[in-house]
Homo-oligomer: A and B are copies of this chain.
């Protein structure tokens, strides 16, 4: 079973919702999520923020954070996830900012910071691979969905189980 199908089953069962904010993955995560039949029950939508102006204006990423930490950073990934979660009102949000093609002063080509925000807080992960633009985009999206599933699982095990046993 594909990761996006597993995510769908859990979100549907728990009546939770999801949104996404994508930079380097450019819509691939949203596309994978929406290939799942019935995804409109839990998926609210996404923002692809290719331009910095969209990151700042639509997602509310502070320009100070972009200047100080760099557009490819844990802090920007976290702010993007938190921004789209706030914008859509979803339970969880996943975000990516990375380098599918060409490196920058801090990271080589094939690096992506993934952010996942939810009721538990926000987590970030650095993932790196080597495959050229298209393969990197696909691997980044897959890594982001894996990390999202881990975070959702963790939340349900830690917090929802605790609530139920109260």
Give chain B residues whose Cβ lies under 8 Å from the Cβ of A48: 20, 27, 30, 34, 45-48
In the complex, residue of chain B having the shortest beta-carbon distance to the beta carbon of A24: B34
Question: Considering the chains assembled together, what is the distance between the CA atoms of A41 and B51 in angstroms?
Answer: 9
Tell me the chain A residues, 120-144 only, with Cβ under 8 Å from chain B.
133-134, 137
Give chain B residues whose Cβ lies under 8 Å from the Cβ of A26: 30-31, 33-35, 39
Top 6 nearest A-B pairs (CB, nearest first) are A26-B34, A27-B30, A27-B27, A27-B31, A45-B54, A44-B51
- A residues engaging B (CB < 8 A)? 20, 22, 26-31, 33-35, 37, 39-40, 43-51, 53-54, 57-58, 87-89, 101, 133-134, 137
Give chain B residues whose Cβ lies under 8 Å from the Cβ of A40: 50-51
Give chain B residues whose Cβ lies under 8 Å from the Cβ of A88: 51, 53-54, 58
Give chain B residues whose Cβ lies under 8 Å from the Cβ of A34: 26-28, 48, 50, 137
Known: A27-B30, A45-B50, A47-B47. A35 touches B137 (CB 8 A): yes
Q: List 10 A-B contacts (CB under 8 A).
A: A26-B33, A26-B34, A27-B27, A27-B34, A31-B31, A45-B47, A45-B48, A45-B49, A45-B50, A45-B58
Question: Considering the chains assembled together, what is the distance between the CA atoms of A20 and B26 in angstroms?
Answer: 11
Question: Which of B35, B44, B47, B49 contacts A133 (CB under 8 A)?
Answer: B35
Q: How far is the CB of A92 from chain B (nearest CB, A)?
A: 14
Question: Considering the chains assembled together, what is the distance between the CA atoms of A22 and B54 in angstroms?
Answer: 16
In the complex, residue of chain B having the shortest beta-carbon distance to the beta carbon of A31: B27
Give chain B residues whose Cβ lies under 8 Å from the Cβ of A46: 27, 46-48
